[in-house]
C-alpha cells in the first residue's frame, strides 16, 4: 500500500505543479490585462483540476478513512514523508496563487465598475407635471 500511495502522491505533485504553472500564467495575463489569454487559459485550468480530482479519488479509495498523515508517520519511509511534505508545500502554493488571482480579478472588476459609474452616472428620477397638473415621479 505504501508504494501505491507514494506513486499516487508523486502523480498528484506533478498535477499540482502543472496547475500552479497555469495559475502563474493566469496571474501574468491578469497583471498585463490580456483578456483574451485569460479567457483561453480557463479550460486548461479546469482540465488540470479534473485530473487532480481523479488522482485524489484514487488516493481516497486506497487509504479509505485513514488519515494520510497518520500513514506517513507510521510508515517510517523517508521517501514517503518527503513526498507528503512536498505535496503540502505545493498545495499551499496553489492555494495562495489562486487566492491572489481571485483578488486581482475582483479589484479589476471593482475598478471597472467605478469607472462606469463615473462615465455614466445614475440620474435621479425627475419630477414632472402630469396631465392633471400634479407632480409625479
Range of the domain at 55: 2-136
Chain centre distance of CA 75 = 32
pLDDT per position as a tens digit, 4-35: 989 999 999 999 999 999 999 999 999 998 98
What are 36's three cell numbers? 483574451
Q: CATH number for the domain including 56?
A: 1.20.58.300
Q: Assign 3-state DSSP to the chain and report helix, strand, coil percentages, each to 5.
A: 80, 5, 20
C-alpha cell at 78: 523517508
pLDDT digits (tens, 9 = 90+) for 27-49: 999 999 898 999 999 999 999 99
- Cα angle: 109, vertex 100, 38; to 5 degrees: 60
For 85-136, how does the pLDDT look when each residue is reduced to its tens digit (9 = 90+)?
999 999 999 999 999 999 999 999 999 888 888 888 776 666 666 667 676 6
Number of domains, the chain: 1
Amino acid at each position: 500500500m505504501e508504494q501505491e500511495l507514494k506513486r499516487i502522491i508523486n502523480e498528484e505533485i506533478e498535477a499540482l505543479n502543472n496547475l500552479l504553472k497555469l495559475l502563474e500564467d493566469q496571474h501574468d495575463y491578469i497583471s498585463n490585462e490580456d483578456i483574451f489569454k485569460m479567457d483561453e487559459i480557463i479550460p486548461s485550468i479546469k482540465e488540470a483540476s479534473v485530473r487532480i480530482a481523479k488522482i485524489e479519488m484514487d488516493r481516497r479509495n486506497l487509504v479509505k478513512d485513514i488519515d494520510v498523515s497518520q500513514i506517513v508517520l507510521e510508515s517510517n519511509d523517508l521517501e514517503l514523508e518527503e513526498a507528503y511534505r512536498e505535496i503540502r508545500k505545493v498545495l499551499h502554493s496553489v492555494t495562495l496563487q489562486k487566492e491572489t488571482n481571485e483578488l486581482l480579478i475582483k479589484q479589476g472588476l471593482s475598478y471597472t465598475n467605478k469607472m462606469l459609474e463615473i462615465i455614466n452616472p445614475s440620474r435621479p428620477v425627475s419630477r414632472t407635471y402630469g396631465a392633471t397638473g400634479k407632480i409625479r415621479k
